[in-house]
C-alpha cells in the first residue's frame, strides 16, 4: 500500500484554500434540515435511523430491532421489518393522489422525449413484474441488466425489487467478457438488454455483446429480454430471446406488491478492487432504502412538489442506483433522464436540457465539470440556467478551480455546492455539507452526515488530530452499508474490516483541516479513478497479459487534468511472440493491445498510453514499484531507485523511452 497520496504537496496547497460560502439566510430558513439534526443524531444514533426508516418508508410490517450487530461485520438493520422498494417508489405515491406527477422526463439522444408520470411508471413496473414472473423469475433469483440510459432500466430494476429478484446492473460500456463473468458470478437467470442505444447521433449496439457473452455454454441464463431502442437489426436466438414490448403488452397491468424482509437482497453491483476479480457488492432492502431516501432529501434539499432533479450518472454505476432509481423515486421527485453524451449534437446539450426542463438540482461528476470548463464558459452562458438552486458533485475529489467554476458559471454564484463522498460499498452518501447548514469550502466534502461515524486515522488506527492526514474509516455500521461480497464473505472481511480493528476501511486517504473538515485525497490502494469510474490496476494488467504478445504488464493511474487519472500501461513483450514488423509496427502493437483491453473489460479501461519497456522496476520481494512508473508516466524524474532489485531498470526504461 502506498502512502504518498496522503502526503502530496498538491494537498498542502489545497489546504490553504480559505474561501467559505455560508448558505443565504433565505436558503437556510427554507431548508429541509436544520443545524439541530446533528445533535439529534448524536444523542441517539440508532433512534435517529429508526425514525428515518419509519418516516421515509412505508413498511408492511414494522421492525422490532434497529440494528443487530451481534456478528460483526455482518449487520442487520431494521430487523423483522418488511418493506417493498417498488411499492415505496411508486404505488404509495399514486395512492396518495400523486399519480399525475411527472416521475421521469426522458430525453433521448436523438431528441425524442417521453414524459412519464408516477401512474405510468407504476403500471409499467407492474407489467414488467408480471412478465418477469411469467419467465420463471422468482424471489431471490438474479437478473442481469445491460441497458442504456432509458426508462426501461428503471422499470427493470424496480420490477425486480417488486418481486424480490436481485438485479445486477452491468454498465453498457463493459465488454461481453466482463458481462459474462458477472452473469456467471451471480448465476443470472434472465438478462434484460436493448438492441442498442445512440451515441453522438449514431446507433451504438448492445445486444451483440450479450450474444457473444452467451455464445459459450455453461451459463445459467434462460431468457434474454430485448428492448427495441435503436431499431437496428440484431441476431435472434429463438426460444431464448424475447421482445420487451411484446412481453409487456401481454402482461397484466395489475400486480400486488408484498413486503420483503428488511435484509432481503436488493441488488448486486460489481466494482473494481485491488485484485483482478471484480467484487459483487451486495445491498439489501430496508437500510439501503432508508439512507438513500434520507440523504437524497437532506443533501439535495429536495422539495418534491417544485424541484426538477437531474443526476447525470449512468444506471450502471452506484450513483445511478441510489440517486436515479431509488432515492428520488422513493421521495416522489420529478427527474430528468438523459440517454446521450454531453457534446451531442453540440457542447451545450446539457444546458439546453437544464433550460428546457427548468432543472433545479443538478448532480454530476468533477470530470464532467472540468470538461465543460475546458469547452468554455460562453457555452453555458447561452442558456437560461436560473432554475438551478443546488449543485452536487460525486465520484472523485473536486479541485477548487472546478468547484468555483461550477458555482460561478452554472450556479450563478449562489447555488450551494454539495460535494458528496461515498462508494458503491457505502450505498449512499456518507460525507457532504448540508446545504442549509454548512458553510461550504471549495474542494472539501467536509462533514459526515448525521448518524454517520466517519473518521481519519493513522497507521495504528488512532484518530488523527485536526490538521493531519491518514486513512478514511467508518467507525460504526450504517444502514446502507454493503452486507457482503456476493459469494465471498471472507473477501468482505479481508478487504474492508481487517486493516483496522473494528472499523470499515474505505481505501481512501483523507485529511482533517484545522476546523475538522474532511478533504479526500484519493485512493491509497491500487484502484484508479478515471472520469469518476473505478478501475483496478490489477484487472487491466491481467487483461494485458492475457494477450499472447505480452509477457508482463504494470498499470498506473497518471494525473490528468480532465479525467482525474488516465490509465498508463507499461508492457514487456514476449521474446518469442510473432509481432508485427516493419513500418508502423509499434503503433500497430499498441493499438492491438489497447483494443484487447477494450474487449476484455470495456472501452473505459483502454490505456491512454501503452509504453513498451525492456523491464519493470521491482523490489527485491518482486513487487512492482508503481510509484516509479507513475513518476515516469507523469513526466517526473523517478529519483531514488535504490530499493530496486536491479537499480539500473529505471535508466533502461528512460533510455528506451528516449529512443
Ligand atoms: C459514488 C462513487 C468510490 C470512490 C471513493 C473515492 C472516490 C467518490 C468522492 C470521491 C473524493 C468525493 N470518490 N466520491 N473522492 N470526493 N466526493 O463514486 O462510488 O464508483 O464506488 O467510487 O470514488 O475514492 O473510494 P464508486
Query: Does the beta carbon of 534 lie inside 6 Å of ligand 1?
Result: yes
Query: Does the beta carbon of 420 lie inside 6 Å of ligand 1?
Result: yes
Side-chain-side CA neighbours of residue 481 (13 Å): 29
Query: Does the beta carbon of 511 lie inside 6 Å of ligand 1?
Result: no
Task: Give the Cα separation of 366 and 197 in Å (integer).
Answer: 25
Return the pLDDT at 538.
79
The answer to whether 284 touches 393, Cβ cutoff 8 Å, is no
Return the pLDDT at 542.
84
pLDDT single digits (tens) 387-412? 999 999 999 888 888 999 999 999 99
The burial of 113, by beta-carbon neighbours within 10 Å (0-12 exposed, 13-18 middle, 19 or more buried), is given as: exposed
Closest CA to ligand 1's atom 26: 423
Please list, residue by residue across 347-362, b when 16 or more beta carbons sit within 10 angstroms of its beta carbon and e when fewer do: bbbbbebbbebebbbb
Return the pLDDT at 396.
87
Annotated ligand binding at 262? The verdict is no
Return the pLDDT at 623.
66
Please list, residue by residue across 480-494, b when 16 or more beta carbons sit within 10 angstroms of its beta carbon and e when fewer do: bbbbbbbeeeebbee
Of the ranges 360-364, 545-549, 575-579, 629-633, the best mean pLDDT one: 360-364
Triad 459, 464, 466: Cα angle to 5°: 150
pLDDT single digits (tens) 25-77? 999 999 999 999 999 999 999 999 999 999 999 999 999 999 999 999 999 99
Which ligand 1 atom is nearest residue 420's CA? Answer: 17
Query: Does the beta carbon of 504 lie inside 6 Å of ligand 1?
Result: no
Annotated ligand binding at 421? The verdict is yes
Q: How confident is the model at residue 216 (pLDDT cuts 50, 70, 90)?
A: very high
Segment 358-370 shows an average pLDDT of 94
Side-chain-side CA neighbours of residue 65 (13 Å): 10
DSSP-assigned states of every residue in 222-283: -EEEEE-SS-------TTTEEEHHHHHHTS-S------EETTSEEEEEEE--SSSSPEEEEE
Centroid of ligand 1 to alpha carbon of 562 (angstroms): 16
Please list, residue by residue across 85-99, b when 16 or more beta carbons sit within 10 angstroms of its beta carbon and e when fewer do: bbbbbbbbbbeeebb
Nearest to residue 300, comparing CAs of 233, 222, 361? 361
Centroid of ligand 1 to alpha carbon of 510 (angstroms): 12
Closest CA to ligand 1's atom 16: 397
Please determine, for residue 9, whether its predicted confidence score (pLDDT) is greater than 80.
no
Residue with the larger pLDDT of the pair 563 and 107: 107
Please determine, for residue 659, whether its predicted confidence score (pLDDT) is greater than 60.
no
Segment 210-222 shows an average pLDDT of 97
Task: Give the Cα separation of 341 and 347 in Å (integer).
Answer: 9
Please determine, for residue 496, whether its predicted confidence score (pLDDT) is greater than 50.
yes
Side-chain-side CA neighbours of residue 60 (13 Å): 17
Q: From 504, 525, 527, 534, give the residue whose CB has the most ligand 1 atoms within 8 Å, as the site to mutate.
A: 534
Judged by phi (left if over 0) then psi (alpha if -120 to 50, else beta), residue 110 lies in alpha
Query: Does the beta carbon of 38 lie inside 6 Å of ligand 1?
Result: no
Return the pLDDT at 577.
82
- SS3 category, 636: coil
Segment 554-579 shows an average pLDDT of 90
Return the pLDDT at 3.
34
Annotated ligand binding at 420? The verdict is yes
Return the pLDDT at 643.
65
Which ligand 1 atom is nearest residue 534's CA? Answer: 20
Please determine, for residue 14, whether its predicted confidence score (pLDDT) is greater than 60.
no
Return the pLDDT at 631.
87
Which ligand 1 atom is nearest residue 533's CA? Answer: 20
pLDDT single digits (tens) 569-616? 999 998 778 899 888 999 999 999 999 999 999 999 999 999 998 888
How large a percentage of the chain has pLDDT more than 90? 79
Q: From 520, 522, 537, 565, give the residue whose CB has the most ligand 1 atoms within 8 Å, as the site to mutate.
A: 520
Segment 320-340 shows an average pLDDT of 98
- Compute φ and ψ for 409, nearest 5 degrees: -85, -40
Query: Does the beta carbon of 486 lie inside 6 Å of ligand 1?
Result: no
pLDDT single digits (tens) 457-477? 999 999 999 999 999 999 999
The answer to whether 323 touches 302, Cβ cutoff 8 Å, is no
pLDDT single digits (tens) 223-279? 999 999 999 999 999 999 999 999 999 999 999 999 999 999 999 999 977 666 789
Annotated ligand binding at 127? The verdict is no
Query: Does the beta carbon of 531 lie inside 6 Å of ligand 1?
Result: no
Nearest to residue 420, comparing CAs of 296, 282, 269? 296
Centroid of ligand 1 to alpha carbon of 422 (angstroms): 5
Strand partners, 76: 68
pLDDT single digits (tens) 284-309? 999 999 999 999 999 999 999 999 99
Segment 162-189 shows an average pLDDT of 96
Which letter does DSSP use for residue 358 in this model? T
pLDDT single digits (tens) 92-101? 999 999 999 9
Q: How confident is the model at residue 189 (pLDDT cuts 50, 70, 90)?
A: very high
Residue with the larger pLDDT of the pair 208 and 18: 208
Please determine, for residue 1, whether its predicted confidence score (pLDDT) is greater than 70.
no
Please determine, for residue 6, whether its predicted confidence score (pLDDT) is greater than 60.
no
Task: Give the Cα separation of 614 and 632 in Å (integer).
Answer: 15
Which letter does DSSP use for residue 157 in this model? H
Q: Kindly indicate whether the ipTM for this predicted assembly is greater than 0.90, answering yes or no.
A: yes
Distance (Å) of CA 491 to CA 46, 276, 485: 28, 13, 7
Centroid of ligand 1 to alpha carbon of 191 (angstroms): 28
What's the start-to-end Cα distance of the chain, in Å?
A: 33
Query: Does the beta carbon of 631 lie inside 6 Å of ligand 1?
Result: no
pLDDT single digits (tens) 606-656? 999 999 988 888 776 666 778 888 888 888 877 766 667 677 777 777 776
Centroid of ligand 1 to alpha carbon of 397 (angstroms): 8
Residue spans of alpha helices (H) in 455-565? 489-497, 537-545
Segment 444-455 shows an average pLDDT of 97
Mean pLDDT of the chain: 93
Q: How confident is the model at residue 546 (pLDDT cuts 50, 70, 90)?
A: confident
Amino acid at each position: 500500500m502506498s502512502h504518498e497520496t496522503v502526503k502530496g504537496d498538491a494537498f498542502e496547497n489545497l489546504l490553504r484554500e480559505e474561501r467559505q460560502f455560508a448558505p443565504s439566510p433565505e436558503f437556510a430558513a427554507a431548508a429541509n434540515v436544520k443545524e439541530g439534526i446533528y445533535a439529534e443524531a448524536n444523542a441517539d444514533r440508532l433512534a435517529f435511523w429508526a425514525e428515518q426508516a419509519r418516516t421515509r418508508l412505508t413498511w408492511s410490517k414494522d421492525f422490532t430491532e434497529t440494528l443487530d450487530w451481534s456478528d460483526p461485520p455482518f449487520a442487520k438493520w431494521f430487523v423483522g421489518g418488511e418493506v417493498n422498494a417498488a411499492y415505496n417508489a411508486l404505488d404509495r405515491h399514486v395512492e396518495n393522489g400523486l399519480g399525475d406527477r411527472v416521475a421521469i422526463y426522458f430525453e433521448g439522444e436523438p431528441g425524442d422525449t417521453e414524459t412519464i408520470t408516477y401512474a405510468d411508471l407504476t403500471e409499467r413496473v407492474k407489467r414488467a413484474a408480471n412478465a418477469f414472473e411469467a419467465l420463471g423469475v422468482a424471489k431471490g433469483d438474479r437478473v442481469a441488466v445491460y441497458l442504456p440510459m432509458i426508462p426501461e432500466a428503471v422499470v427493470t430494476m424496480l420490477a425486480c425489487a417488486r418481486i424480490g429478484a436481485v438485479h445486477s446492473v452491468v454498465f453498457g460500456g463493459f465488454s461481453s467478457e466482463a458481462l459474462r463473468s458477472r452473469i456467471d458470478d451471480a448465476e443470472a437467470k434472465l438478462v434484460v438488454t436493448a438492441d442498442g442505444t445512440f451515441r453522438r447521433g449514431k446507433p451504438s449496439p448492445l445486444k451483440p455483446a450479450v450474444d457473444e457473452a452467451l455464445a459459450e455454454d455453461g451459463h445459467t441464463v434462460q431468457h434474454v429480454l430485448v428492448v427495441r431502442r435503436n431499431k437496428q437489426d440484431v441476431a435472434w436466438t429463438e426460444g431464448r430471446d424475447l421482445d420487451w414490448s411484446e412481453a409487456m403488452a401481454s402482461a397484466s397491468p395489475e400486480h400486488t406488491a408484498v413486503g420483503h424482509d428488511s435484509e432481503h437482497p436488493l441488488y448486486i453491483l460489481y466494482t473494481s478492487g485491488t485484485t483482478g476479480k471484480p467484487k459483487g457488492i451486495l445491498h439489501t432492502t430496508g437500510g439501503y432504502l432508508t439512507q438513500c431516501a434520507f440523504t437524497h432529501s437532506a443533501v439535495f434539499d429536495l422539495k418534491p412538489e417544485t424541484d426538477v432533479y437531474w443526476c447525470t450518472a449512468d444506471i450502471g454505476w452506484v450513483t445511478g442506483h441510489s440517486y436515479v432509481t431509488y432515492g428520488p423515486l422513493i421521495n416522489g421527485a420529478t427527474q430528468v433522464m438523459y440517454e446521450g453524451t454531453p457534446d451531442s449534437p453540440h457542447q451545450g446539450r446539457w444546458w439546453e436540457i437544464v433550460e428546457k426542463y427548468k432543472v433545479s438540482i443538478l448532480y454530476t461528476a468533477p470530470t464532467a465539470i472540468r470538461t465543460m470548463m475546458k469547452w468554455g464558459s460562453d457555452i453555458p452562458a447561452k442558456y437560461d440556467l436560473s432554475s438551478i438552486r443546488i449543485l452536487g458533485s460525486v465520484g472523485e475529489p473536486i479541485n477548487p478551480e472546478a468547484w468555483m467554476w461550477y458555482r460561478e458559471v452554472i450556479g450563478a454564484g449562489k447555488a450551494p455546492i454539495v460535494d458528496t463522498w461515498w462508494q458503491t460499498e457505502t450505498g449512499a452518501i456518507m460525507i457532504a455539507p448540508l446545504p442549509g447548514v454548512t458553510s461550504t469550502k471549495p474542494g472539501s466534502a467536509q462533514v459526515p452526515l448525521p448518524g454517520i461515524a466517519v473518521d481519519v486515522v493513522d497507521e495504528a488506527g488512532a484518530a488523527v488530530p485536526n490538521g493531519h492526514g491518514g486513512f478514511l474509516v467508518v467507525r460504526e455500521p450504517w444502514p446502507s452499508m454493503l452486507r457482503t461480497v456476493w459469494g465471498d464473505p471472507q473477501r468482505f472481511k479481508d478487504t474492508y474490516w481487517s486493516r483496522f480493528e473494528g472499523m470499515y476501511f474505505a481505501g481512501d486517504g483523507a485529511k482533517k483541516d484545522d476546523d475538522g473538515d474532511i478533504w479526500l485525497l484519493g485512493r491509497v490502494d491500487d484502484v484508479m479513478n478515471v472520469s469518476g469510474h473505478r478501475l483496478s490496476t490489477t484487472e487491466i494488467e491481467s487483461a494485458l497479459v492475457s494477450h499472447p504478445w505480452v509477457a508482463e504488464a504494470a498499470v498506473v493511474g497518471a494525473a490528468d487534468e480532465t479525467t482525474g487519472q488516465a490509465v498508463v500501461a507499461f508492457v514487456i513483450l514476449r521474446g518469442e511472440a510473432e509481432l508485427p514488423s516493419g513500418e508502423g509496427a509499434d503503433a500497430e502493437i499498441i493499438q492491438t493491445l489497447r483494443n484487447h483491453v477494450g474487449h476484455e473489460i470495456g472501452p473505459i479501461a483502454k490505456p491512454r498510453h501503452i509504453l513498451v519497456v525492456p523491464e519493470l522496476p521491482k523490489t527485491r520481494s518482486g513487487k512492482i514499484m508503481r510509484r516509479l512508473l507513475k513518476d515516469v508516466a507523469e513526466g517526473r524524474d523517478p529519483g531514488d531507485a535504490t530499493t530496486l532489485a536491479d537499480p539500473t531498470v529505471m535508466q533502461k526504461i528512460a533510455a528506451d523511452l528516449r529512443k
